[in-house]
Amino acid sequence: MRSPVAIASLWINGLTRSGKTTRLVQQLVHWAETWPLESQIPKPPQTGPSLLVFAANGDNRMALADRIAAATHGRYPFHSTTPAGFIQDEVMLFWPLLIEQLGLKAQFALKLRPENEQELATRFWRQEIDQGILQVEGWREYELVRRSLDFLQLAASAGIPTEDIPALLSQGLMPGQGSADQWQAIGAALIRWRDGCLNRGLLTYGVMTELYWRHLLPNRTYQDRLLSRYCRVLADDVDEYPAIARHWFEFFLDRGIPSAFTYNPKGKVRLGVGADPDHIERLKRYCNLEDLSASGPDSLADGWAEKVVEWVSNPLALPNLPEAIQSIQETTRGQLLRQTAETIAEAIYTRQVRPNQVAVIGPGLDAIARYTFTEILAKKGIAVESLNDQRPLVSSPLIRALLTLLTLVYPGLGRLVDRDAVAEMLVVLSQAPSLDIGQPWFDLTRIDPVRAELIGDHCFAPAVEEPKLLAVTSFPRWDRLGYRAAQAYEEILQWLDDQKHQQQQHLIPNPVTLIDRAIQRFLWRGNYLPYNQLAVLRELMETAQHYWEVEGRLQQYEGVESAGAIAADNLTSDVGRFIQLLRRGAVTANPYPVKPLDPNRQGVTLATVFQYRSQRLCHRWQFWLDASSPRWLTGTDALFGAPIFLQNWSGRPLTAVDVEIANEERLERILRDLLGRATERVYLCHSDLATNGQEQTGPLLTLVNAAQDLEVSHPM
């Protein structure tokens, strides 16, 4: 028997760019027009029910919120969120209720960043790791911790209790990938980790997800509050949602809350990283169904998607490609990158296409490719938008200099500093204050790299406990440094001595204060700093503040820690662990704005396949980089063991055949989706040899070979 809200609720089924989101907004407008008159008076969410709107990720959420605000002229209250954001917000908002229900210690909840989660879990499990209790053959320490935490996250997203993880792993993974005893040990470690976090008020996303579906959502008090807050539910792209999203959607539907959903059966971008689209699809039995299966009429998928998929799946086929699908072919990958960039530049220069109408997409867009495209196009005056180009903080000289400075103030960090690091620090910290932003960087530096190396060789005294810098006069020919360099060095030396003295007297509350002082004294000083430098400095401060906030919380449990619950590394202090955390590249910062203020300033888009599909982008021209790479089939989007956490898992061990079938289905979805997001032309960019010198024989080679005779206009 169908739910009584089936007539009011709507399930919109459609392929890429078939108009699903537009139809979703139209449904909202229709509902708004039929609401009682009093509901049309704008009210704060706290004083009356509002609309609950879901999107797959943060960027899609902002775009959908803008469309709703424009369509309704801001007359109706709504709350936009993502599945992950909804869970985190609800757990934090109703944390006191969870404290009472679970008997936890009353304290403010503190969310752990992913990098803190990895580092803290490694310390938490240090004893078991060193004893080999958690060791799985072929897994390095980092992989062991990361995959174990991923198991917790996948189970929580699927609505599976943490206690059931060992049984799932034993049943679903092949015997050669680990033993039942190892999975039991990992399962027990995860339970202790979860309970340890809860006892300390530390919340990871995995812990919060389990708290929500297992304890908060079934709570009658919470249910009453939830119903009083929302009167309608809209969810866009639910094929990207975790299985537990069905729990709260069914909660609303069963209680008569009209809802509308959009679903792409050929989307499923996040399948393998927590989403369970097949399980979510069962929600449609509550709804009236509306099919928008046709792709956008202006896309290459219209008329060609079926044929391209058939040609790729059949290596013996003889494709007859349209002129819209062309190729760029070179011998080596370096030649391919340069030729592709030159082709893009020529097309933009001859006004065939604008920069923001071009996208370069690859299964794995490495740093070399991003750098090559950015450099070549920038020299021709063409802007580049590198999507989610999150570089490690430690890749910035400013960050490395600040980390080196910490080793010279705090004791016991001599193993983390050397002469080269000291020389780099001196160059960075000796930038002279200037407001002339057109002046070359080296003209603003009072200690150049050559003089910095000389100082490092003669004035740096390494030591395990207290490495230090000596006076400039300890260098026999210090007069060779010159007045400006010697003066700058003495200023840095004096500042370090002052900070060490204050640290010894406990006048520096924590390293965050020292980092802030160094930024104000040496890096800011009224200087103009470009966005990328401001971004990394801001991220460093946020990371440091969060790190020592967590450390402060852990210090409340010293008695427990001394018993071995959290074993700290005896070789380094908290400052040393922080430095090592950043040097491992665990923390990143996007060096460019995510969304330029002026849309017309957007440049050529660089993105991986996963990033491009997740952001729902569309371009006139697409360049498929490394078109004959096997990574188009064997991409690494999925987390280890993800299929066994899906609700439709067969219950038998995963085999190589299962993996191959999943990869083929994923490739089909990629091809359909990318063609649906290209409106005019696709270039298959192929090099005979990969970066490692091996011949490229990927699944798209059939298309590349069919396109090789097409005439392509290359620049000189």
Instruction: Give the residue extent of every domain in the chain.
Output: 10-92+213-292, 110-200, 301-389+592-707, 394-587
pLDDT of res. 585? 79
Which has the closest alpha carbon to 395: 436, 364, 424, 357? 424
- Tokens 């013996």 belong to residue: 316
The token duo for 185 is 């040990």
Identify residue 300 by its one-letter amino acid code. L
Are the folds of 10-92+213-292 and 301-389+592-707 the same? yes
Lowest mean pLDDT among 473-477, 640-644, 654-658: 473-477
**How do residues 331-373 score in pLDDT, each as one tens digit?**
899 999 999 999 999 999 999 999 999 999 999 888 889 989 9
Residues 334 and 316: their CA atoms lie apart, in Å, by 30
Asked if residues 564 and 123 have their Cβ atoms less than 8 Å apart, the reply is no
pLDDT level of residue 85 (50, 70, 90 thresholds): very high
Cα–Cα dist 361/678, whole Å: 11
Predicted confidence at residue 601, as pLDDT, reads 53
**CB 291 within 8 Å of CB 5:** no
- In the prediction, which pLDDT does 7 show? 46
pTM: 0.89
CATH number 3.40.1350.10 given to 301-389+592-707: no
Q: Please check the confidence at residue 636 and state whether its pLDDT lies above 80.
A: no
Q: At a CB cut-off of 8 Å and minimum separation 6, what does 292 contact? A: 12, 13, 14, 15, 18, 19, 20, 23
How many angstroms from the chain centroid is the CA of residue 244? 21
Q: Identify the residue with better confidence: 654 or 40.
A: 654
Q: Residue 422 — very low, low, confident or very high, per pLDDT cuts 50/70/90?
A: very high
Q: What confidence score (pLDDT) does residue 589 get? A: 63
Of 22-31, 262-271, 684-693, which gets the smallest average pLDDT? 684-693
Q: What is the pLDDT of residues 27-47, one digit of tens each?
A: 998 887 776 533 443 444 444
Compute the distance between CA of residue 64 and CA of residue 86 in angstroms, rounded to an integer. 16
pLDDT of residue 259: 95
User: Are 181 and 212 spatial neighbours (Cβ–Cβ below 8 Å)?
Assistant: no
Whole-number Å distance between alpha carbons of 452 and 267: 54
Share of the chain above pLDDT 90, in %: 56
Please give the Cα distance from 16 to 648 (Å, whole number): 24
Instruction: Please check whether the domain covering 10-92+213-292 is classified as CATH 3.40.50.300.
Output: yes
> CA–CA separation, 55 vs 236, rounded Å?
5
For range 555-571, the mean pLDDT: 50
Under a CB-based contact definition with an 8 Å cutoff, are residues 168 and 190 in contact? no
Q: What is the mean pLDDT of residues 497-505?
A: 94
Find the mean pLDDT for residues 616-625.
94
pLDDT at 684: 94
Return the pLDDT at 558. Answer: 59
